[in-house]
Chain A
Amino acid sequence: MSFEVLLFGPYADAAGARSVSVEAGEDGAVRAGALLAAIGEQVPALRPLLGGARLAVNNRFAESDDEVNASDEIALVGLVGGG
């Protein structure tokens, strides 16, 4: 199943795109931790930047065991610099 992950900041710069499509899970769902691992496996440009990264699902941080559906809004959040 294909999951679209929104990218911002250094992630977007590294990937050269505002989002990436990642194949993961079965039956349209995957655990957040597994999806994050899949991003590292399938998008080499992002691999060095994933330490400390978290997935946001529908504008909330997801725990590793949280279920993520392909229809959710998913974003890679980390390396932030607000304030």
Chain B
Amino acid sequence: MSVQVLIERGALAPMPSHGWPGAGAVLCFEGVIRPEEGDRRIDAIEYEVYRPMAERVLESLARQAKEAHGLLAVRVWHSEGRVPVGACSFRLEVASAHRAEGLAAMGWFIDAMKRDAPIWKRICEADSPQRAAP
């Protein structure tokens, strides 16, 4: 499957990359929860996902990235629910013949996702979970 979107509860488990035929570059970006959000120490981030639309939007963006940049494959993972500090909440894997198009596609996809995907995050501090400022 050349385009795949997976929304999973909690932190994303590590996965090996597939060997994509013809790929000279397989790029993987992982978004990891940092221990600070601004000047606040946090324990975790909770992701709220409008799932049916998020899956549709992410798949659409992945297909757009694949077509526009001539990619061989795109896979997207995103967490739903609580993800602790240090764990992965987002993964983007891109396979391409050469690195240039893969790197360009990754930047484009992440910007578009942050603009359009119906996913919200709530910062979990030790004593008071609160919504992240937009």
> Which residues of B in the span 29-82 have a Cβ within 8 Å of any Cβ on A?
31, 47-50, 52-54, 56, 78
Closest to A73 in B: B52
Given contacts A10-B131, A75-B118, is CB(A56)–CB(B53) below 8 Å?
yes
Closest to B119 in A: A82
Given contacts A8-B118, A9-B131, A83-B114, is CB(A77)–CB(B90) below 8 Å?
no
Assess whether B52 is in contact with A80, with CB atoms less than 8 Å apart. no
- Report the minimum CB–CB distance from B45 to chain A (whole Å): 9
Docked pose: A81 CA to B131 CA in angstroms: 10
What does the 1/0 interface line of B105-134 toward A look like (CB < 8 Å)?
A: 000001001111111111000000001101
Assess whether B116 is in contact with A83, with CB atoms less than 8 Å apart. no
What does the 1/0 interface line of A6-27 toward B look like (CB < 8 Å)?
A: 1011100100000000000000
Total count of chain A residues near the partner, CB < 8 A? 17
Assess whether A60 is in contact with B56, with CB atoms less than 8 Å apart. yes
- Report the minimum CB–CB distance from B31 to chain A (whole Å): 5
Docked pose: A81 CA to B116 CA in angstroms: 9
Docked pose: A75 CA to B78 CA in angstroms: 20
Given contacts A8-B48, A56-B53, A77-B118, is CB(A83)–CB(B131) below 8 Å?
no
What does the 1/0 interface line of A43-83 toward B look like (CB < 8 Å)?
A: 00000000000001001110000000000000101111111
Listed in ascending order, the chain A residues whose CB lies under 8 Å from chain B are 6, 8-10, 13, 56, 59-61, 75, 77-83
A-B contact pairs, 5 of them (CB 8 A): A80-B120, A81-B114, A81-B121, A82-B118, A83-B89
3 smallest CB-CB distances across A and B, nearest first, come from A9-B120, A82-B119, A59-B53
Listed in ascending order, the chain B residues whose CB lies under 8 Å from chain A are 31, 47-50, 52-54, 56, 78, 89-90, 110, 113-122, 131-132, 134
